[in-house]
Amino acid sequence: MSTDEKSIAMEFCGIAVKRNIFLKETHIAISKLMGHEIMFIHLIHEIAKNIYDHAKGKGSLIITQKDNSFEFEIKDNGQESYDFNLCKNNSRLIGNEINFGIGLFLITEIAKSLKIDLKIDTSKGFRYSGIYTPKKS
C-alpha cells in the first residue's frame, strides 16, 4: 500500500511583517495544501494569529498529508511556561482584562467540532498538534 504524502513547512520570523500580510501568506500556503477544508484552515489561522499576537510572530508550522489525514504541529518560540488551565478558564470570561482572550477558546472549540484530539503543550511557549481526518462526502 503506497502512501500519498504532501507537506508544508513554514518558519515564522517575527513581526517585521505586518499582521495582515503574515496571516494572508499563511492562509494562501495552507489553502494550497488543504483545498476546501475551510474549518481546518480556520483552525490553523486562529493558531497563527495567537503566535503573531503573543509570541511576536516567531514560530513554525508543519502540516503533512498522509493519505486522507493531515498531521500538524504548530508552535511558537516562546520561552516561558504557561498554566494551560488558567489560560483556558480565563479565555471563557468576558472582560477578563487578561489577554488569554477568545483565540484559545476558538481554537479548542473548532478542534472539537472537527473531532481533532488537539494536544496543547504549554511547557515552553505554546505547541499545538493533532491529526485531522476530513469527513468523506
pLDDT tens sequence for the chain (137 residues): 345 678 999 999 888 888 899 999 999 999 988 888 899 999 999 999 988 888 888 999 999 998 889 999 999 987 776 665 555 555 545 454 545 567 888 899 999 999 999 998 888 888 999 999 998 76
* Every domain of the chain and the residues it spans: 5-132
The total of other beta-carbon atoms located within 10 Å of residue 90's CB is 17
State the alpha helices, DSSP H only, in the chain. 19-34, 38-54, 84-91, 101-113
Residue 53 CB burial class (10 angstroms; 0-12, 13-18, ≥19) = middle
The reported pTM is 0.81
Closest CA to 101 of 49, 39, 24: 49
By CB atoms closer than 10 A (0-12, 13-18, 19+), residue 105 is middle
CB burial readout 8-44, b (16+ within 10 A) else e: bebebeeeeeeeeebeeebbebbeeebeebeebbebb
In CATH, the number for domain 5-132 is 3.30.565.10
Closest CA to 129 of 79, 80, 60, 78: 60
Looking at residue 34, what is its pLDDT?
A: 86
Q: How far apart are CA 105 and CA 124, in angstroms?
A: 20
